[in-house]
Structure 1
Amino acid sequence: MAVTTSCNSSTIQPYIPSAINPWDEARVRHAYRRIGYDASKAMVTAALAMSPNDFIDQLVDEAFNEPNWPTPVWADYTNHDYDNLGLDFEEETQNNHHELRLEVINKMQNNGLKGRLILFWSNHFVTELESYFASNLLYEYYHTLERHALGNFREFVYDIGRTSAMLVYLNGFENTNNSPNENYARELYELFTLGVDNGYTQQDIVETSKALTGFNHRVNWTYPINYDSSTFDNSVKTIFNREGNWGYDEVIAILFEEKSPLIAQFICRKLYTYFISPEPNEVVISAMADSFGADFNIANVLKLLFKSEHFFDEKSLGTKIKSPFDLTMSYLKVTGFTMQPDYLDAFVWYNNMMGQYLFNPVDVAGWQGDKDWINSSTITIRWQIFEWIIWHTLNEFTEELRTFAIESSGDSNDPYIITKSIIDRFVPLELFTPTDYQIATDIFKHNIPQNYYDDGSWNLQWDTVPNQVVLLLFHIIKMPEFQLI
């Protein structure tokens, strides 16, 4: 498959604001859209008072220091615990899974980078909840993502491979000395660390699968999987030309000792295409990999990327198509509307309807993102869901819609200024032509006679304003630019 190269030629060197590339609202919003899920007006104002360097440090450090989710009471419950408590296993399990999904949504809203990285890593170290359907296994998997999201990648790889969710999903539980299964060994190299056909052979997979045996003991499907030495393959294995009676620990050690440059390149390419553009810049990726390969510190390589002139270059703005979570979470963040828990629940299902069901990616390779999110069917689903959301907004946040318009425009009474200020909060780049803004302005003005605008008697205190904002929002969600990040 042909790969298009990025047209952004800026380097990994630190971003220094200039007349050509200023530290302005557009770049602050760009940073918040990519690093988190957009920002309120107050957040943008506060960021503009900081240097770009300090701003990025603050965002990454806050995510790194974000407390983990308090351990839920059901974190280690098996089916027998539910039975002993007189609870229905399936009903409680569904409730627990929903509770955890809401926790991720709250994290996306309260600390965008931590929530974004949990989603990113769940789409890298993929499992599918439907394959194991046990709350305790999901919690162990989630907690591993949460603990390592900005930590050491080597430790991340080690810990994720021993989670029961991963052992079930990639058949590690079925891999024994008498009946080897190569699936986890293959995905460890192909999807998690090296990339397809990059630095390993089929024989390396065969030998590695032998070293990964032994994780085969549990009571039933709701119990954690433990190591059983009787099912471990005690033969001598040769992995990356190194010979010994290797086990799980040695596999991870040898992998990082022998293949660190390839691992660093593979992961940095994935971080780049997720946070910057689907079109890779090999020079920037190599510079990231040089840094990352030295210590595999995720937070440090993200700071390097986010502080770069490459990240803040105008050619980095609007280069990606929003995922379902980008759409819904950024809408909540930009508007500042606080949804009640019962309606926030609906956002879990909205994202599912748009193709992104948390903890259930489409397959072992995860969601590919960008252009895969949009086709003739999914775009109409996106429009329909946002029409529902906007109608709910009008019913529940009538006065907040007025406040949103006042805050966006500085309480202007010029319909063009109001319209443009609202649009610019939802899109990464200015609209293609001034005419596009004028069309939107006419929609916002609705059927109010023009003379009320001409003589200045119309203002944002009019009773019609919430409905006018809603009409504009209906128009915005169908703009091509609204789908970009």
Structure 2
Amino acid sequence: MLTTNTSCNVASLNIYSPTNSNPWNRQKVNHLYRRLGFGATPEMVNNALNQNPSDHIDSLIDEALNLNPTPAPAWGYWIKDDFDARPENPFEYRRDWKNQMVADMFQNNLRDRLTLFWSNHFVTEDNTYQSPAYMFQYYNLLQLHSLGNFKDFASDMGLSSAMLIYLNGYENTKNRPNENYGRELYELFALGVDNGYTQNDIVETARALTGWNEREERWGPITFDANKFDSDDKTIFGQTGNWDYYDVIRILFEQRPQQIAAFICGKLYRYFISPATNETIVNQLAQTFLDNNFEIAPVLRQLFKSEHFFDQKSLGVHIKSPVDVQINFFKDLGFELPADFEFNNKIRGGCQELGQELLKPVDVAGWQGDKDWIDSSTITTRWDRIGWYLWRAWRHNEEQFRVIGKAVSDENSNDVELVSRQIMDNFLSKELISATEYSQGLEIFKDQVPENYFEDGTWNLDWETAPKQVYSLLQFLITIPEFQLK
């Protein structure tokens, strides 16, 4: 039965510095890329090993900060009439943009890891607002703010058309106030459930958020209508005045900074480190968040460069999401697939089948992840999908299996047990506890090569049989429980 490890990581936030007993090695680099990004090719791993870990992490964060958002599609700001004039169903545009999201995640590292993370924080569901243009504009905000200022992020997100439709801000008027967004702003987006706000704060906040109801054309921009704004005084967190949307954001961050910092840093910790929270570490990260005026990047630098992040107890404590189990593996492999395979579309469809439809979490609280990702049905579907992807890669180019085998092992070794274990370890978060699965993997890796060729040291990865041996080992590897962990 698959279980996650309970985190008992007590390492500090001091910067990790490699030692002989705690080296900067392939395992740590893979850990870094599987958490900060979506895996790493052998070439990326080797490049990282040639750098100081702290400098390398700075370069990854700087890269994410400087990365331009994905360019707008031609339809990125169309209204409903523009879509109606085309033969395609709007659903097709939304599907294609989800495929673009897969491409972004596969191509990029931290920026699009965070784009996925924030899409599960500032949740919307694309089938609610339906407009492909609203989807693109929402996605663009996620990318723009992914490592930026959280206060600005929260402010801009609440006025996005996707969010105004999804949480009923568009329906919130002075004569018919709607509490939906005010409640979720506090409960899910900024403070946490029952953490520093009252029902009266929600009621008064809803009044302050009125007026964002003007839309000249269907699926066009939503703007402010002063005639639908409640201009009477409201009292929010003890502050009284004729508050509007921007005042709500200002008052929230002025009056509840500690709660915001602890809530957001706790969520980042559980996503990037462990489902089991270390409150001491979270409190230190929260202080960094406050000291930097709610800038996200300094918190990530402190966390990712730390001994805590690289501690052995941080490895193998997350169950891979459907995105991770598909994209990470193929990024790690660096494989080429046939052009007609439509990789982005296949991965998107796989995510949907496995319970993680992109830009459409299960509800406003988002995917809860970890053990929710796997049951008796989805585990076999994972095996089937990944196995099929491997088979397509095999049919396309058998030789690439030899290439990856050499890249992640001692390519000149004729020790079949060593090579088998090195290949397995490269695609696992850490070494297996039991020797049984290593032994099973070894027997599968030997394939039909006569034993005497292993015993006399004749065999190596240059043999004609090697690609099939690596293929068979990888097909076995994806079925062991530990493969589902990162």
Instruction: Mark yes or no: TM-score above 0.5.
Output: yes
Q: Which moved more, 1:22-31 or 1:130-139?
A: 22-31
Q: Give the match for residue 41 of structure 1.
A: 42
Residue number among 91, 96, 111 corresponding to 2:93 in the alignment: 96
Q: Give the match for residue 159 of structure 2.
A: 162
Q: Give the match for residue 398 of structure 2.
A: 398
Tell me the TM-score normalised to structure 1 length: 0.95
Secondary structure at the residue paired with 2:453? helix
Cα displacement (A) at 1:70: 1.3
Cα displacement (A) at 1:221: 4.1
The letter for the 2-side match of 1:321 is I
Q: Which moved more, 1:31-40 or 1:101-110?
A: 101-110
Where do residues 49-128 of structure 1 align in structure 2 (5 Å cutoff)? 49-83=50-84, 86-90=85-89, 93-128=90-125
Cα displacement (A) at 1:88: 2.2
The letter for the 2-side match of 1:192 is F
Does structure 2 conserve the Cα–Cα contact (< 8 Å) formed by 1:5 and 1:280?
Answer: no
Q: Deviations over 1:29-86 (max 9, x none)?
A: 1111111112122222221221121011011111111111112111111121234xx4
Ranges of 4+ aligned residues in structure 1 off by more than 4 Å: none
| Aligned-residue identity in percent | 48
Cα displacement (A) at 1:224: 2.3
The whole-number CA distance in structure 2 between the counterparts of 1:455 and 1:12 is: 49
Q: Give the match for residue 378 of structure 1.
A: 378
Q: How many residues align?
A: 478
Cα displacement (A) at 1:336: 0.3
Does structure 2 conserve the Cα–Cα contact (< 8 Å) formed by 1:420 and 1:437?
Answer: yes
Secondary structure at the residue paired with 1:243? strand
Task: Return 5+ residue gaps in structure 2 as ranges.
Answer: none
Q: Give the match for residue 448 of structure 1.
A: 449
Does structure 2 conserve the Cα–Cα contact (< 8 Å) formed by 1:305 and 1:311?
Answer: yes
Q: Give the match for residue 313 of structure 1.
A: 311
The whole-number CA distance in structure 2 between the counterparts of 1:82 and 1:170 is: 24
Does structure 1 conserve the Cα–Cα contact (< 8 Å) formed by 2:6 and 2:317?
Answer: no
Does structure 1 conserve the Cα–Cα contact (< 8 Å) formed by 2:25 and 2:49?
Answer: yes
Q: Which moved more, 1:129-138 or 1:94-103?
A: 94-103
The whole-number CA distance in structure 2 between the counterparts of 1:426 and 1:352 is: 24
RMSD over aligned CA atoms reads 1.6
Q: Give the match for residue 459 of structure 1.
A: 460
Task: Return 5+ residue gaps in structure 1 as ranges.
Answer: none
The whole-number CA distance in structure 2 between the counterparts of 1:139 and 1:67 is: 15
The letter for the 1-side match of 2:313 is K
Whether 1:261 aligns to 2:266 is no
Where do residues 328-343 of structure 1 align in structure 2 (5 Å cutoff)? 328-339=326-337, 340=339, 342-343=342-343
Distance 1:454 1:72, change over 3 A: same
Whether 1:7 aligns to 2:5 is no
Cα displacement (A) at 1:220: 5.0
Secondary structure at the residue paired with 1:315? helix
Q: Give the match for residue 287 of structure 2.
A: 290
Q: Which moved more, 1:280-289 or 1:52-61?
A: 52-61
Tell me the TM-score normalised to structure 2 length: 0.95
Whether 1:427 aligns to 2:428 is yes
The whole-number CA distance in structure 2 between the counterparts of 1:449 and 1:200 is: 71
Does structure 1 conserve the Cα–Cα contact (< 8 Å) formed by 2:7 and 2:314?
Answer: no
The whole-number CA distance in structure 2 between the counterparts of 1:6 and 1:457 is: 44
Whether 1:362 aligns to 2:362 is yes
Whether 1:153 aligns to 2:154 is no
Distance 1:343 1:17, change over 3 A: closer
Q: Deviations over 1:395-414 (max 9, x none)?
A: 11311111111222232333
Residue number among 322, 325, 344 corresponding to 2:323 in the alignment: 325
